[in-house]
């Protein structure tokens, strides 16, 4: 997607590299957001991370503190998350979508958060099957899109998804197992 028509906040190259490399396990979650009202016009971009002061997960923080209802038109939101939502955040997202039925959220994740915890697995499955929500693992094209969209231009940036393709594939397989499995 061309950068023309984008407006919003850019993330640092260092933060993108440290937070979205699926071979590492940072203690916080970053959210990169692309939002568009009415299916046309400009995209708005933004990024956020967990709010440690308010002890707030980034998904809840974004929906409570950043998102503004600006129109009754359809709103398409794409989130690129460094970690998949926990069970509590899946509930918050579902509650938000129940209230804002004109909003669709497409969630793409770099890693699966505590996939061995039954509650997290069940909540991800429920969210993926909830009207207005979609969830999947980030793929190589998603990483390229993030590099092109959420970073300011200029300078050399040596961080391509090709260098961690096997970790991307492991995340995809983990998430597909969760989303395709009714029994946890």
- CA gap 13, 175 in Å, rounded: 26
Q: How far apart are the first and last CA of the chain?
A: 38
59 part of the active site: yes
Q: What is the DSSP string of 118-157?
A: HHHHHHHHHHHTSTTEEEEE--HHHHHHHHHHHS-S-S--
- CA gap 158, 17 in Å, rounded: 9
- CA gap 152, 146 in Å, rounded: 11
| Active-site residue, selected from the candidate residues 18, 59, 76, 119 | 59
Is residue 100 within 8 Å of 64, Cβ to Cβ? no
What residues are annotated to the active site? 59
């Amino acid at each position: 997607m061309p950068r023309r028509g984008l407006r919003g906040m850019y993330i640092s190259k260092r933060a993108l590299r440290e937070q979205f490399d699926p071979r590492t396990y940072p203690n916080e979650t970053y959210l990169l957001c692309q939002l568009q009202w009415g299916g046309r016009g400009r995209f708005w971009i933004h990024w956020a991370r967990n709010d440690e002061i308010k002890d707030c997960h980034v998904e809840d923080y974004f929906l409570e503190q950043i998102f503004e209802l600006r129109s009754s038109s359809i709103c398409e939101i794409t989130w690129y998350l460094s970690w998949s939502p926990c069970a509590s955040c899946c509930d918050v997202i579902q509650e938000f979508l129940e209230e804002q039925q004109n909003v669709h959220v497409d969630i793409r994740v770099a890693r699966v958060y505590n996939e061995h915890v039954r509650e997290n697995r069940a909540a991800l499955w429920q969210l993926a099957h909830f009207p207005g929500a979609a969830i999947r693992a980030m793929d190589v094209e998603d990483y390229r899109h993030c590099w092109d969209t959420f970073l300011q231009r200029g300078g050399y940036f040596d961080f391509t998804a090709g260098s961690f393709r096997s970790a991307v594939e492991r995340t995809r397989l983990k998430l597909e197992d969760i989303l395709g499995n009714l029994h946890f």
